[in-house]
Amino acid sequence: MDLVSWSLIILGSAAALSWLLMKPVARLGLRVGLVDLPSSRRTRARPVPTTGGIVIFLTTAASLVLALRFFSYVAPNVAFKLSALLAGGTVIIILGMIDDRINLKPRVKLIVQVAVAVAMVASGVAFEKVGFFFGPALELGWLSYPITVFWIVGFMNALNLIDGLDGLAGGIAVIAASGLFLVGLVNDNPLLYMMIAGIFGSGIGFLLHNFRRGNVYLGDAGSMALGFFLAGGTVIGGRSDLASNAVLVVGACMIVPVFDVVTTIVRRSRSHGGVMTPDQSHIHHRLIRFGLNPKAAVIVVWGVTVFFGWQMLGLIAPYGLIYLLGSYIVAFGVANVLMEQRRKNLRTVQSDLKEEISDLVGLRDRDEAESASSLREIIVAQIRREALYRRIVRDEATGRTPEAAIPVEKKESADELRV
């Protein structure tokens, strides 16, 4: 059996194992207190176990052990790097579990993350060259060390920061893993696609529970572990200048989290608040405030992620035109969803287009009272706007005078909404 077939078996097995383990491990999480409690930044009115990341780590670790056993015979130096990735992932998942349990200070988490990234670099996991679409690859020299540390730490925190809706961070990670898997296949790089197969599959198994019903969360443990494995796998799985292909694709898939991090830093700096202070103005909050329901907001972000990922695949992969055309079809779907919501907004809240765009891209600071609204309250407002729009359309169809746009500022209690 060839290595591609083995990687597909690993992918399918990881997906099945992740899906099967999710419920029993979630029940264990409820018993030991690994839960996300109801808050202004969540949609659920009940505790939800944060054990999804633990299952993802276990299934990914199992796939890495299989890859380690194979490469220990054919490439001992690669096997050592895989051991470092597995050890580093273990530290990160433990750090995340502690944070999910007792809420560590951001500074403590950052120190441990940097320490793990430095240890990875010391183990030989570092970018050596960088090459793009033309010209020879550029030797990074000593710059490879800080660049690699920044890459690993930044990847973990970007994915962790955007983890605010069911399926959001997990879906982005799965799309990024699928891009890396394809890069490995088209570049005939068995190390990359065998290593990423486990991450890809375990993420799919998690999404089958998380996105559909939201009965288990990644937790900080899961979002950081996924970010760590994807970032480290990109570095280890690249071969000399071919590493740039993996970096370009996975970097393109991380456009939305990176954009969210940048706008968050700018927004919090402008308001003179702490950079790590939580608020309700992340990209997913802004999409819901725009009028999309949570699942539609997640699908829009997925669509943007696929668009940029496929754009990059179209530039570096054989038959790239297929990916390019596919990305434009996805972009058309995303644009159609946003334009339809804009039409609804005109009929209900009569919002200004310039203000909506400024809010969506994070250029406009909302007033303190509005920003303090809980995520559940934002969703209540969205539901009321949708109901008003349907009444307007029904009245027009029956010849009645449509209701005028009304404000949707009324707050509902937690018991009035089931999401």
pLDDT at 151 over 80: yes
The tens digit of pLDDT for each residue in 236-271 reads 876 544 457 788 888 899 999 998 888 877 776 766
Least confident of 12-26, 224-238, 255-269: 255-269
Measured in residues, the chain has a length of 419
Distance CA 46, CA 418 (A): 11
- Average pLDDT of the segment spanning 212-236: 88
238 & 369 share domain: no
Return the structure tokens found at 286. Answer: 């802004």
146 & 228 share domain: yes
- Average pLDDT of the segment spanning 412-416: 40
Look-up of token digits 């990024």: 176
Full-model pTM: 0.86
202 & 58 share domain: yes
- Average pLDDT of the segment spanning 287-292: 85
Query: Is there a contact between 287 and 357 (Cβ–Cβ < 8 Å)?
Result: no
153 & 177 share domain: yes
190 & 268 share domain: no
Confidence of residue 412 (pLDDT cuts 50, 70, 90): very low
Number of domains in the chain: 2
The tens digit of pLDDT for each residue in 347-405 reads 777 666 666 776 676 666 555 445 555 667 777 777 787 888 788 888 777 776 655 54
Distance CA 87, CA 298 (A): 32
207 & 314 share domain: no
Return the structure tokens found at 199. Answer: 């991450």
167 & 32 share domain: yes
- Three-state DSSP class for 129? strand
Query: Is there a contact between 41 and 374 (Cβ–Cβ < 8 Å)?
Result: yes
Distance CA 174, CA 206 (A): 10
Among 184, 258, 230, CA closest to 89: 230
Query: Is there a contact between 11 and 198 (Cβ–Cβ < 8 Å)?
Result: yes
Where a domain ends, among 253, 275, 296? 253
Domain that holds residue 402: 263-419
Query: Is there a contact between 285 and 298 (Cβ–Cβ < 8 Å)?
Result: no
Among 217, 254, 234, 163, CA closest to 53: 217
What does each C-alpha distance from 273 to 263, 264, 279, 375 come to in angstroms? 14, 11, 10, 20
Quote helix, strand, coil % in the chain, to nearest 5: 75, 0, 25
219 Rama class: left (phi>0) / alpha (psi -120 to 50) / beta: left
Specify if 69 maps to a domain: yes
Contacts 24+ apart (CB under 8 A), 107-114: 109/220, 110/153, 110/157, 113/152, 113/153, 113/156, 113/157, 113/224, 114/149, 114/153
Distance CA 178, CA 236 (A): 17
Distance CA 415, CA 385 (A): 19
110 & 242 share domain: yes
Look-up of token digits 């090459």: 131
pLDDT at 417 over 90: no
